[in-house]
Amino acid sequence: MIDRTEAPEIGDPRQPASRRIFHSKVDTIRPTYGFEDVSLAPGTDTIEPADVDLAQTFCGIELPIPILASAMDAVVDVRMAGALARLGGLAILNLEGVQARYDDPDAVLERIATAADGDLGSLLAEAYQQPIREDLIARRLDEIHAAGSKAAVAATPGAARRFGPFCAEHGADLFLVQSQVSSARHLATEYDPLSLAEFTRYMPIPVAVGNTTNAEAAFALMEQGAAAVFVGVGPGAACTTREVLGIGVPQVTAISDVAAARDAFMAETGRYVPVVADGGMRRGGELAKAIAAGADVLMIGSPLARAEEAPGRGTNWGMAAPSPTLPRGTRIRVGTVGTLERILLGPAHVTDGSENLVGALRQSMAALGARTIRDMQRVEMVYAPSTQTEGKSWQRGR
């Protein structure tokens, strides 16, 4: 706030600025926090890592570990869904990706993974111009079940209206309505927007919704029947929302705000709506911080794209933006480092926390005395941006 209330010179009434207070937007900027800004503080208790219980029921699906694989073409296909299910997690298939457009998506994925940077934009546009086929959706659902996994699928709101009932009829276990920014009320002049309340009411399977960063929006989504709310606008390694659109809230603040809405909704209605932290987590410590901020489940993309089972062949690219004239996200090269089991459960071959992610989460919870996910959500979090560098000068060249 710029205060111009200093007294005018005696006898000079022609100073209007001296009688005004100017309000600047930067006067009320709210501090927000990402994973590197905070740390978890030990308390009075510790427990054995083997006694940590990570299991929960998520939208009617039993999850031994709180891990979802992002609905991205470079991360999830039928093979990946089966591999993750065997380890205790759940993969979400992108209904608007290549798996539902091509009989042989591997050929398209190979072209995208190996294309020169200058050719990528036109190649992606061409790849996603092919129509989505209901027969392929039905086939993928059957294949995912045959691979030993529950079938979870995702689509943008426009496609959800078309494919939601079809997926439910053909055995899908969970439907995720996912967009860059989800709200309880979408305004449009050229078409009739999806009514989430109606959609969740006539869908016979759970409907999760994302993504948001706002407590009031999350509460409204829960009121309209969302079975889970996904949190995160732009934190993912392959996402360009923050750069292209200038939109986003650091993940620790976003998760905490939406978790507050979940707790308030539970207190008012008795219905618990899980919060899913989506994106921005690369190392075990960040998974631990996301749970401590209030998340129930963690959706990760690029860390899983590094697995031998991932369809992206050591690359990953964003999928959220439906605009034909803006980037769909950038292709990043994450490399292939080992099996999905090694990335999630170890043994780790590196010291930077990017492998054995679930083992690190379990160890963090044990050191903090948190036996369950709910216990972990109650641990103390402190503002500590120096924890990443304090005393680590000899590691900087690692």
| Catalytic residue list | 239, 333
Q: What amino acid is encoded at 140 in this protein?
A: R
Nearest to 164 by CA among 95, 66, 61: 95
CA gap 165, 203 in Å, rounded: 6
Task: Give the CA distances from residue 390 to residues 212, 284, 289, 352, in Å, rounded to whole numbers and listed in that order.
Answer: 33, 19, 18, 16
Task: Give the CA distances from residue 356 to residues 74, 343, 352, in Å, rounded to whole numbers and listed in that order.
Answer: 21, 5, 10
CA gap 136, 243 in Å, rounded: 34
Residue whose entry in the numeric block shows the structure tokens 């036996």: 371
83 contacts 73 by C-beta, under 8 angstroms: no
- Residue 36, token pair as written in the block: 């590197």
Nearest to 112 by CA among 279, 297, 331, 357: 331
Angle at 276 between CA 275 and CA 280, to 5 degrees: 135
356 contacts 344 by C-beta, under 8 angstroms: yes
Nearest to 279 by CA among 319, 223, 246, 238: 238
